[in-house]
A and B are shown apart, each in its own frame.
Chain A
Amino acid sequence: MGGTQVQEDTVLDARGLLCPMPIVKTAKLMKTLEPGQVVKLVTTDKGSLADVPAWASSTGNELVASHDGGTEFTFFLRKA
């Protein structure tokens, strides 16, 4: 993961939010998307580095790419 270019359909700004809100908001937004659509999720919660991949694997949504910016983390999730 990392260098691939992914075009998002929508952006979820979850900066400043702590567990479990980034996941709760992502799940809520995902419900409104069509399969194949991509959401770009931006967080500042360090826990999301472990939680977002875990959430993706338990829901079957694909974590297409992620970027660890040190204080800000970006995830591209494709709806299954």
Chain B
Amino acid sequence: MGDIAGQATAPVLNQGNAGATLSEADVRRIVRSELDRGPSRDPGANTAAIIASKGTLDWAYPPLILATTAAASGMDASIFFTFYGLNIIHKDYERLLKVSPLGNPAMPMPVPMPNAVLGLPGMGPMATKMMKSKFQKRNVATVRELLEAARDLEVRLVACQMTMEVFGYAASDFIEGVEFAGAAAFLAAARTANVTLFV
């Protein structure tokens, strides 16, 4: 190209076979090169929009881990905290985030216990204590450390305004840096994101 003005820039396919349709090999080659170029020019590939809807200690981890990792991988990450998920960004999260062994048959217990026992007073705090000490023993990051990492990495933390009203929370009940918005704001972020998760 270059010295031939006006020459078509598109690749010439099946030269010498005028009017021929694309061969299968051509199509494969074109599709493959388009696919390869896709991620580099798709702005959505650089965005992660995550919903955190659960307010227990165990379920606080997945959205925080994924959002901080996404941000550490160069993505614009945001978490939309709704319903019980608001616990995670409440100023009092360390007290609010608990685990319950009740109705959670997957939770590892030192000895098998029937639900009737798990429902007794004291079992919830015991399970919470057990999980915290397990995490600590393995040196798993605490929720505090993950929230600090999220702030360092500029993960956007968005509280659902509607659930705040329902639960009677004020903006001042939440940790610093939290934004407030609704479903339309989440969807505006999610519609251009390639990674969207509901936790």
Listed in ascending order, the chain A residues whose CB lies under 8 Å from chain B are 16-21, 23-24, 26-28, 55, 58-60
Contact = CB atoms under 8 A, between A and B. Distances in A.
Nearest to A21: B141
B192 interface: no
Interface of B: 65, 68-69, 71-74, 138-141, 145-146, 149, 152-153
B139 A18 contact: yes
B73 A24 contact: no
B139 to A, nearest CB: 5
Contact of A20 (B65, B74, B139, B152): B65
A23 B141 contact: no
B69 A20 contact: yes
Chain B's interface: helix, strand, loop or mixed, by majority?
helix
Contacts, number: 44
Given A18-B138, A18-B140, A24-B68, 14 more contacts: A17-B139, A17-B141, A19-B65, A20-B72, A21-B141, A23-B72, A24-B72, A27-B71, A27-B72, A55-B69, A55-B72, A55-B73, A58-B74, A59-B73
A24 B140 contact: no
